[in-house]
Amino acid sequence: MASMFGAIELSLAPYVLKIIIDTASKTAQHPELFYGAVLVPALIYALIPLVHNLVFRAYFYAHFTLFPTLRTNVVTQMFNYLSLQSSNYFQKNFSGSLANKISDMPQGIEAIVGILNGMVISRIVAVCIASTILWTISPLFTGILITWVLIFLSNGYRMAKHVEQYSIVFSETNSAVNGQVVDSVSN
């Protein structure tokens, strides 16, 4: 929700400012029309960052009250799942590595939620607003924007697929090293 308002502010505020300037230039010769014509867009322009700020404060409040519970639930569920494994499973895996994976899981989930909320949703909303505004100016500009977005997304997807294997190897290696350290110290 907060990221959507961020995208709205980012995309809509410049357009509202354009409306204010266009309206002011059209009515500058008629002072009796000027204030009435500029008042509503100016109020909207002033309210956009105010609403954005209030929504972000609510988001951070929710974040700091919900994420500790989420972290606790994830760790508890991971531990419960792990405790159901056979003794053979524990002989094949370092206990320190398993503990490291359990402690890394909440951070990973928090990062995924942050990426979805902060980047994906806000970018989708921003592109939709920008496309709509550009369509009113020139459909060609909308086509250019959407083409650029598709090229950007396809390149990003290809790069993410390429990096994914390195990320998996890094995570497994990190867990194995931490597991060996913990097991060596505890033994």
Q: What is the pLDDT of residues 20-58, one digit of tens each?
A: 888 888 887 887 888 888 889 899 999 988 888 888 888
Q: Residue 144 has what pLDDT?
A: 94
Chain centre distance of CA 80: 30
Task: Report the pLDDT averaged over residues 87-113.
Answer: 80
Q: How far from each other are the two terminal CA atoms of the chain, in whole angstroms?
A: 49
The rounded distance, in Å, linking the Cα atoms of 3 and 109 is 18
Instruction: Tell me what the mean pLDDT of segment 126-149 comes to.
Output: 90
DSSP 119: I
Angle at 23 between CA 21 and CA 29, to 5 degrees: 105
- Choose the weakest-confidence range: 51-55, 122-126, 134-138, 176-180: 176-180
Question: Which of 157 and 9 is assigned the larger pLDDT?
Answer: 157
- Confidence tier at 115 by pLDDT (50, 70, 90): confident
Q: What is the value of pTM for the model shown? A: 0.59
Is the confidence at residue 1, as pLDDT, over 70? no
Query: pLDDT higher for 175 or 79?
Result: 79
Amino acid identity of residue 70, one-letter, is: L
Ranges of H-type helices in the chain: 2-27, 31-83, 87-92, 95-115, 122-137, 139-186
- In degrees, rounded to 5, the angle at the alpha carbon of residue 26 between the alpha carbons of residues 24 and 28 is 60
Between these two residues, 144 and 110, which has the higher pLDDT value?
144
Q: Is pLDDT above 70 for 8?
A: yes
Q: State residue 62 phi and psi, 5-degree precision.
A: -65, -40
Confidence of residue 152 (pLDDT cuts 50, 70, 90): very high
Q: How many beta carbons lie within 10 A of that of residue 179, not counting itself?
A: 19
Q: For residues 137-148, give the mean pLDDT.
A: 92
- Specify the pLDDT at position 147: 95
Quickly state the pLDDT bin for 185 (edges 50, 70, 90).
Answer: low
Asked if the model's pLDDT at residue 118 lies above 90, the reply is no
Cα 27 off chain centre by: 41
Mean pLDDT of 78-106: 82
Query: Cβ(176)–Cβ(97) under 8 Å?
Result: yes
> Which value, in Å, is the radius of gyration of the alpha carbons in the chain?
25
Mean pLDDT of 126-140: 88
